A and B are shown apart, each in its own frame.
Chain A
Amino acid sequence: RKEVEQDPGPFNVPEGATVAFNCTYSNSASQSFFWYRQDCRKEPKLLMSVYSSGNEDGRFTAQLNRASQYISLLIRDSKLSDSATYLCVVNGLNSGNTPLVFGKGTRLSVIA
């Protein structure tokens, strides 16, 4: 099982749609969770941290389910500028020598 697995994508959605990305992780000792956004040929940029109680930042909502080792990202009212690859990232204190483990990413295209 891969350490971090994401929906394969790509997701092609119209403007204004709500889209959800899912991610599972294998290391139950993982302590920190993040969503990063990466535009084509650019560096990853931190979108938001994910907290146990769930958290929201504008149109973006992140959820964490430790029991199921599952993380989600919900984007409401999609904009054209949301088109990017979304990377699920897990950080484990006991994950050996790998401080941050990235999923392969899910590509989102928002269409006018």
Chain B
Amino acid sequence: DAGVTQSPTHLIKTRGQHVTLRCSPISGHKSVSWYQQVLGQGPQFIFQYYEKEERGRGNFPDRFSARQFPNYSSELNVNALLLGDSALYLCASSLGANQPQHFGDGTRLSIL
């Protein structure tokens, strides 16, 4: 069975640009969460979606937005990119909102 898949794997952008990251959950999983991980830190929660509705939002600016589609895949959008947005962006899926989460390989975003 396919695990959580994310695309792209790597991305280079410049300040002020916009980026869209994509995630497909494990088949049957209805909850998708997004995390940002900078070097030397644990993942920081950005958003959680369950059954296409936002269930949680972390302490990130409004430049960050996300949505979940009817097939439970999800997109994370970041506008007006800053140098500090450079990080590994991880998507995780789970059966339910409070179940163990399984991570994709992540998208490594570099802002120049």
A and B: interacting chains? yes
A residues whose Cβ falls under 8 Å from a Cβ of B: 4, 31-32, 34, 42-46, 49, 87, 91, 93, 96-105
Measured between C-beta atoms, what is the minimum distance from A48 to chain B in Å? Answer: 9
Are A32 and B90 in contact (CB-based, < 8 A)?
no
CB distance from B100 to the nearest CB of A (A): 5
**Minimal beta-carbon separation of B76 from chain A (angstroms):** 15
What is the minimal beta-carbon distance from A22 to any residue of chain B, in angstroms? 15
30 of the cross-chain contacts (CB-CB < 8 Å) are A31-B98, A32-B98, A32-B100, A42-B105, A43-B104, A43-B106, A46-B102, A87-B43, A91-B98, A96-B56, A97-B45, A97-B56, A97-B58, A98-B45, A98-B58, A99-B33, A99-B55, A99-B97, A99-B98, A100-B33, A100-B43, A100-B45, A100-B92, A101-B45, A102-B43, A102-B44, A103-B42, A104-B40, A104-B41, A105-B42
Chain A residues contacting B98 (CB-CB under 8 Å) are 31-32, 91, 93, 99
Other than the given A32-B98, A43-B106, A100-B45, 13 more pairs (CB < 8 A) read A43-B90, A44-B43, A46-B101, A46-B102, A87-B42, A97-B45, A98-B45, A98-B56, A100-B35, A100-B43, A100-B92, A102-B44, A104-B42
Q: Which residues in chain B, 49-63, are within 8 Å of chain A measured between CB atoms?
A: 55-58
